[in-house]
Structure 1
Amino acid sequence: MSDAKKNSRSLVGIAGIVAAATLLSKLFGLFRQQAIAAAFGVGVVADAYNYAYVIPSFFFVLLGGINGPFHSAIVSVVSKRKREEIAPLIETISTLVGGVLILATALLILFADPLIDLVAPGLGQTATGLETKAIAVQQLRIMAPMALFAGLIGIGFGVLNADDQYWLPSISPLLSSVTVLVGLGGLLLFVGQDLISPEYSLLGGQILAWGTLAGAILQWLVQVPAQWRSGLGRLRLRFDFNRSGVKETVRLMGPATLSSGMTQINVYTDLFFASFIPQAAAALGYANLLVQTPVGIISNMILVPFLPVFSRLAAPEHWEELKLRIRQGLVMTAITMLPLGAIIIALALPIVRVVYERYAFDQEASQIVTSVLIAYSIGMFVYLARDVLVRVFYALGDADTPFRISVINIFLNALLDYLLIRPFGAAGLVLATVGVNIISTVWLLTVLNRKLHGLPLQEWGLPIGGLGLGSVVTGLASWGTLFALQRGLGTEGFFVQLLQLVVAGTVGLLVFALIAMQMQLPEVDQLVTRLRQRFGRSA
């Protein structure tokens, strides 16, 4: 694509588009999870859905997600090619990937029962577990075609982003949430107040699965016209597998997919151990969404605009600027993730109660989810920092290094799961993942330091360390404010809890803003200036 097209938007402009679209998608995702929690709590339907969804999610996150390996590989290859070369390339890749994933879909349907046994062996030990398994098997068979649509969505997202189109890929995930909400709404109208009754468990599980599949299909359908209008490929079978760019894309996709797949295997490992703890899978799902909602918004703001930039700076003569961009990515991650994690830790219980506690989701469920949410919040910074570094390796054409690290991390994660689940329960599974992410981040930095002939790690570490200390103060300020408000207003009542969250969270953010401004980091100054400019233009 032409340089003029590539440079037509600033990183800030792209980040603004991505943030707005992703915010809408994440909000609808939160509404969906609230509806599931209200309808099913942490009971068998919610548990079954988390076990059944782990394999379709494996494909969807792995292949169809923004910042996933398909997206990253397509952006890296397409950004370097002339426009007239793109459509035949994408049609060939889609044909190749589609054929493989149709086979994968058939295997998921055929082997759904043993796959659930593999994911959650603990379900066969109790009557409740057997009921959960039966629902999960049916849900998996319904959602199996998501494997095919995940690959097509990931390819389309990469092409559209490389063409400087960011709104549609970022907003389309909300369709999955809308279809689930519509399905649950229809179920409520059909069964009325008996929604949570045991006799409707199987029907409720089916509605969740069909709604999830319908959302995936819609995500693919909405991007097809955009690709056609831009001349970036049509629904056409093309078997020119020797075409220029196909081998390069596959070479990047292969190790990158396997590397990202290792991360999803860690999710499977966590659920393997969680199957022996009643309600653990549902708790992991609810807490994960509360963290992934802000992380998803911020990660798309950081990773989506930076990935094409990393790719264009991959040549050795541009490495000094590449190092500057890596610093920007890491410091921006610290500015956003560290204080946010501290505030969530301080306000975890009221956050869970305000978001989820209604109908089938009671105070006991809130306590279960809160401990898991705290564990997730501890690792927010390293989760995103690792992803920033992985994208640098992809841009440099090295997907092998993240893959090798991920393979080793599978065994490390399983070991930490085994050691930490006993003292910490479900939260220990999350802490194991946090430990693995810390090791991965340090390892990737070490290799990248050697690959780029030296990184100013001490120079980067000082501001990140300062932001970390500032975040500790931020968390204490939020907790102290919450404690004072609870002494005066009590802890019960939705609006009381919401008021306490807003006030305590605002105090924490103001404290961090003051600390960050005193540090005089260029990234903070740039962020504040550009936000003022953006809000000024909007006004």
Structure 2
Amino acid sequence: MSGNEEDIVTDTQKEQSPKRSLLNIATIVAVATLVSKIFGLLRQVAIAAAFGNGTAYGAYNFAYVIPGFLLILLGGINGPFHSAIVSVLAKRDRREVAAIIDSITTIVTGILLLVSIALIIFAEPLMHLVAPGLFVPEAQLISKGIDSATIANLKITKDIAIQQFQIMAPMAVLAGLVGIGFGALNAADAYWLPSVSPIFSSLTVLIGIGGLFWTLGNGILSPENAVLGGAVLAWATLAGAVLQWLVQLPVQIKAGMGGFKLRFDWQRPEVKEVLRLMIPATFSSGMLQINVWTDLFFASFIPNAAAAVSAMGYAGLLVQTPLGILSNVILVPLFPMLSKLTAPENWDELKYRIRQGLMLTALTMLPLSGLMVALALPISQVVYERYAFDAEASQLTAMVLMAYSVGMFVYLGRDVLVRVFYALGDGDTPFKISVVNIFLNGLFDYLLVGKFGAAGIVLATVAVNVISMIAMILILDRRLNKMPLKSWSVTIAGLTIASAIAGGASWGIYQLLSPSFDSLANIWRFGAKLGGLAIAVAIGLAIFGAIALQMRIPELNIVTAQIKRRLKR
């Protein structure tokens, strides 16, 4: 191996000794996140089977916008709370940390408690802001030729969404507590629990849906039970957030990283530094989540809004499952390394780490993107098509999945670049770019939703991510005294072509195999489709790997060398 390839092992061992190496951290995060994402997928499969594209889950997608926005924004790994706390506490003596964490927790809990109360009181006007299409007067809908059944469905969706929103409002407080805990545990070199804790949220939803099946059976989908089904979804989601916080709290306390103790030492320099990083980072990340609201704002005007947002939810989960796993694998260990390379004399190493993050993103995201675009329909059928989720729902979900899959690389690549700005102590630049992107996202939604429906809304988000990634690269190129962008672009373009070839090959293989599936009995058809998908994916990945190896990409050599080293042990 070359010196650059080898330093991912040697340098990291020096930097983190006696802590875990970068590879060990990545392995822990990968396994834990994989387990978590599997449970998340099972949760989504259960929701699809129980509710399909019906009103209960459609309303839930609207109601979850703000509570989910807060949970992802504040409580997510790699979110602003997590990033700010890790960046500050990693440089502090462990004996000082508990007081810092307790002071931050006191401030954040007080603010978010007031936010939760406001969400409950103003639930209806806030839902009107999120999904105005659900509040269009009946006379106006009739004048547009909307049939009475669709109008009635919109009213039910609106009523259920308001109820669900009020139930989930306390997630605002829990989001802050979970996010602070994640940052504290990672700063204490604990990676397993933060990555695996979302399992508990999935478990509560699975238990809730299981209880519905036990009580109502096939009657879950009936109109009179839609309100009950929607309430169970909301309460189960809230219970999951509570459990997610409670399981990490004892570990956080035991590690000496604070807990849930009131402390008003807000003048400490460390507390001020965390808040200084956290506030702009929160707004910056919040701008990205506002794009989610913008998308649902326009989706609410699609005649069958519940089906449209349901398809976006189902397809989004299929993309977020691998994306979330690989995001944590790449970003969690990379961010602390970037934070140590911000001095000008370390910029050459910083540029190498930026390239490393982008190339690992391309090597993982681009082939997955090509395969998921090519196999969107069979993937949707195999994962979701059963009980309430019918063939029509599969077709709609597949269209949206193709749109999501196109943007997988730029989604994660943008996150890599955002972490570079955070490492440089600059939360303002990502924030400014995000503000511009809000307006661009709204413009693209407006232009594309009429022609492409739900898929058009997703394509608008992809376009915004492309623009923001290009802007960040150009700014960093100027700030770091030029980066080898031309060579990076050539490599990424080559991997994109390789991914398209792999996707085309996998599609052709599946088309050759699929005619035989229809002649099979239902009991065997699922297994045959799953096997056909596995064969098509394996061949596609083999083709991509063969092309990528010929390109002699250093990051690919690093990955293969580490795998060989592990296998020899």
TM superposition score category, shorter chain reference: over 0.9
**Per-residue deviation at 1:489?**
4.0
| Bigger shift: residues 509-518 or 310-319 | 310-319
Q: Distance in 2 between matches of 1:342 and 1:464?
A: 14
CA distance in 2, matches of 1:478, 1:387: 29
Residues 88, 270 of structure 2: 8 Å contact kept: yes
* Counterpart in the other structure of 1:31: 42
Measured in 2, the distance between the counterparts of 1:508 and 1:491 equals 26
Structure 1 residue aligned with 2:546: 514
Residue 511 of structure 1: CA displacement?
A: 0.6
Give the structure 2 partner of residue 315 of structure 1.
343
Structural mapping, 1:85-164, within 5 Å:
85-125=96-136, 126-164=151-189
Who is 1:181 aligned against?
Answer: 206
Corresponding position of 1:276: 301
Q: Is the 8 A contact 1:180 1:211 kept in 2?
A: yes
One-letter amino acid of the counterpart of residue 451, structure 1 = R
What are the residue-to-residue correspondences of 1:179-328 with 2, within 5 Å?
Answer: 179-277=204-302, 278=304, 279-328=307-356
1:84 to partner: Cα distance: 1.5
TM-score by length of 1: 0.97
Describe how 1:350-369 pairs up with structure 2 within 5 A: 350-369=378-397
Are 1:495 and 2:527 an aligned pair? yes
- The structure 2 residue matched to 1:526, chosen from 558, 561, 564, is 558
Task: Answer yes or no: is 1:431 the counterpart of 2:463.
Answer: no
> Which residue does 2:190 correspond to in 1?
165
Distance 1:161 1:480 in 2: 44
Please tell me whether the aligned partners of residues 40 and 46 of structure 1 are also in contact (alpha carbons under 8 angstroms).
yes
- TM-score, normalised to structure 2, is 0.92
Whether the aligned pair in 1 keeps the contact of 2:205 and 2:237 (CA below 8 Å) is yes
Measure the CA separation in 1 of the matches of 2:416 and 2:165: 32
Please give the per-residue CA displacement for 1:173-194, whole angstroms capped at 9, x wherever unaligned: 1110000001111111111231
Residue 15 (1) aligns with residue 26 (2): yes
Determine the C-alpha separation between the residues in 1 that align with 2:462 and 2:448: 12
Deviations 1:269-290 (A, max 9, x none): 0000111121111111010000
Answer yes or no: is the 8 Å Cα contact 1:5–1:164 preserved in 2: no
SS at 1:442 equivalent: helix
Closer, same or farther: CA 12–175 of 1 in aligned 2, 3 Å = same
RMSD: 1.4
The Cα of 1:124 is off from its aligned counterpart by 2.4
Deviation at 1:8, TM superposition (A): 2.2
After TM superposition, give the deviation of residue 469 of structure 1 in Å: 1.1
Give the aligned residue type for 1:455: M
1:404-455 residue CA offsets vs partner (Å, 9 max, x unmatched): 0000000000000000111111100000000000000000001111111211
Q: Which residue of 1 aligns with 2:56?
A: 45
Contact 1:49 1:139 in 2 (8 A): yes
1:75 maps to 2:100:
no
Aligned to 2:148: none
Percent of matched pairs sharing the same residue: 60
CA shift, 1:20, in A, is: 0.4
Range moving further from structure 2, 238-247 or 436-445:
238-247
Output the amino acid matched with 2:173: L
Equivalent residue in structure 1 for 2:473, among 420, 425, 445: 445
- Structure 2 counterpart SS, 1:245: helix
> Are 1:334 and 2:378 an aligned pair?
no
Deviation per CA, 1:275-330: give whole Å up to 9, x if none: 11211111110100000000000000000010111111122221111111111000
Cα separation, 2, equivalents of 1:49 and 1:71: 27
| Cα displacement (A) at 1:457 | 0.9
Does structure 2 retain, via aligned residues, the 8 Å contact 1:120–1:271? Answer: yes
State the Cα deviation string for residues 92-113 of structure 1 (Å, max 9, x = none): 1110111100000001111111
1:418 equivalenced with 2:446 (yes/no): yes
Alpha-carbon deviations, 1:504-529, whole Å to 9, x = none?
A: 11110111111111111111111112
> Which range moves more in the overlay, 184-193 or 423-432?
184-193
Query: Structure 1 residues 5 and 330 mapped into 2: Cα distance closer, same or farther (>3 Å)?
Result: closer
Post-superposition shift, 1:5? Answer: 5.5
Q: Which amino acid aligns with 1:58?
A: F
Displacement of 1:473:
0.8
Does the C-alpha gap of structure 1 residues 488 and 193 become closer, same or farther in structure 2, counting only changes over 3 Å? Answer: closer
How far, CA to CA, are the matches of 1:398 and 1:201 in structure 2? 47
Partner of 1:460: 488
Rounded Cα–Cα distance in structure 2 between residues aligned with 1:522 and 1:62: 34
Query: 2: distance between equivalents of 1:208 and 1:467?
Result: 41
Deviation at 1:334, TM superposition (A): 0.2
The answer to whether the 8 A contact 1:44-1:131 is kept is yes
1:482 aligns with 2:510: yes
Q: CA deviation at 1:3?
A: 8.1
| Partner SS, residue 329 of structure 2 | helix
Q: CA–CA distance in 2 between the matches of 1:510 and 1:7?
A: 38
Separation (CA, whole Å) in 2 of partners of 1:102 and 1:124? 28
Contact 1:176 1:214 in 2 (8 A): yes
Cα distance in 2 for partners of 1:491, 1:516 equals: 38
Q: 1:491 to 1:13 in 2, by over 3 A?
A: farther
Residue 398 (structure 2) pairs with residue 370 (structure 1): yes
Match of 2:71 among 40, 45, 60: 60
Residue 193 to residue 521, structure 1, CA distance change in 2 (3 Å): same
Matched-pair contact (CA < 8 Å) for 1:79–1:162: yes
What is the CA distance between 1:374 and its match in structure 2? Answer: 0.1
Show CA shifts across 1:88-138 (max 9, x none). 111111101111000000011111111111111111242211100111111
The partner residue of 1:402 within 410, 430, 433 is 430
Structure 2: how far apart are the matches of 1:88 and 1:5?
Answer: 24
**Residues 74 and 179, structure 2, Cα contact 8 Å, conserved in 1:** yes
CA distance 1:342–1:364, change in 2 (3 Å):
same
**2:396 counterpart letter in structure 1:** I
Kept after mapping to 2: 8 A contact 1:38/1:356: yes
| Cα deviation digits, residues 368-405 of structure 1 (max 9, x gap) | 11110000000000000000000010011000000000
In the alignment, structure 1 residue 387 sits paired with structure 2 residue 415: yes
Contact kept in structure 2, 1:145 and 1:213, CA below 8 Å: yes
Distance in 2 of aligned mates of 1:337 and 1:240:
44
Code of the residue aligned with 1:276 in structure 2: it is: F
Gaps of 5+ in 1: none
Kindly state the Cα deviation for residue 210 of structure 1 after the two structures are TM-superposed: 0.8
Of stretches 294-303 and 526-535 in structure 1, the one that deviates more from structure 2 is: 526-535
Instruction: Describe the SS at the equivalent of 1:66.
Output: coil
**Amino acid of the structure 1 residue aligned with 2:175:** A
Whether the 8 Å CA contact 1:286–1:369 is kept in 2: the answer is yes
Moved more, 44-53 or 460-469: 460-469
Number of residue pairs aligned between Structure 1 and Structure 2: 536
Cα distance in 1 between the residues matched to 2:562 and 2:411 = 26
Q: Tell me the CA shift for residue 532 of structure 1.
A: 2.9
Q: Which moved more, 1:325-334 or 1:491-500?
A: 491-500
